[in-house]
Amino acid sequence: MFGAKLLLPVASVLRCSSLALSPALETRQWIATSSLLGFKKMVRRDKARRQCVADYEAERLRLRAIIKNKLLPEVVQEQARAELAAHPRDASVTRVRSRCVLTGRGRGVLREYRLCRMKFRELADYGHIAGLTRSSW
């Protein structure tokens, strides 16, 4: 942050006026206008990894089936292991990370909603997630 300009969210300027935005829209606009957030790079990287996994999925499945088949000769299995090792690292499914669609956060993501825990709670509090109500007893 040394010498970098700090960008304010668009909605913080609009809060003074009657054109206040919903929290989700406010977050999206902040993401679109911010150049300092490093997660954009991570989101692009994760997207590229997902594409790589999709490209190599059938080939990896075939090679893993050959490796696990104990009826085949050891030479064939070794050859399949070598071919699998030659694939890019990002072709593995374990390299893909679930990320929040609003913020790009990689931790605390609820899979069903594809939102991080903070944005999930924020949107649920405002009633923007259908079918959810705040529990009270």
- The reported pTM is 0.60
pLDDT higher than 90, residue 44: no
Mean per-residue pLDDT, 21-29:
56
Spell out the domain ranges in the chain.
39-97, 98-137
Closest CA to 24 of 131, 122, 105, 100: 122
Q: How confident is the model at residue 131 (pLDDT cuts 50, 70, 90)?
A: confident
Determine the Cα–Cα distance for residues 13 and 58; give it in Å rounded to an integer. Answer: 50
Average pLDDT over residues 52-66: 92
CATH (one of 4.10.830.10, 3.30.450.20, 3.30.500.10, 3.40.50.720) for 98-137: 4.10.830.10
Higher pLDDT, 101 or 137: 101
Q: Is the model more confident about 127 or about 82?
A: 82
Secondary structure of 35-85 in the HEC alphabet? CCCCHHHHHHHHHHHHHHHHHHHHHHHHHHHHHHCCCCCHHHHHHHHHHHH
Residue 27 pLDDT level (bands cut at 50, 70, 90): low
Query: What pLDDT, on the 0 to 100 scale, is given for residue 10?
Result: 40
CB 2 within 8 A of CB 102: no
The per-residue pLDDT for 105 is 87
33-42: buried (b, 16+ CB within 10 Å) or exposed (e) per residue? eeeeeebeee
In the chain, the percentage of residues whose pLDDT exceeds 90 is 31
Q: How is domain 39-97 classified at the architecture level of CATH? A: Orthogonal Bundle (1.10)
Q: What is the pLDDT of residues 75-124, one digit of tens each?
A: 999 999 999 999 999 888 888 888 888 888 889 999 888 899 999 998 88
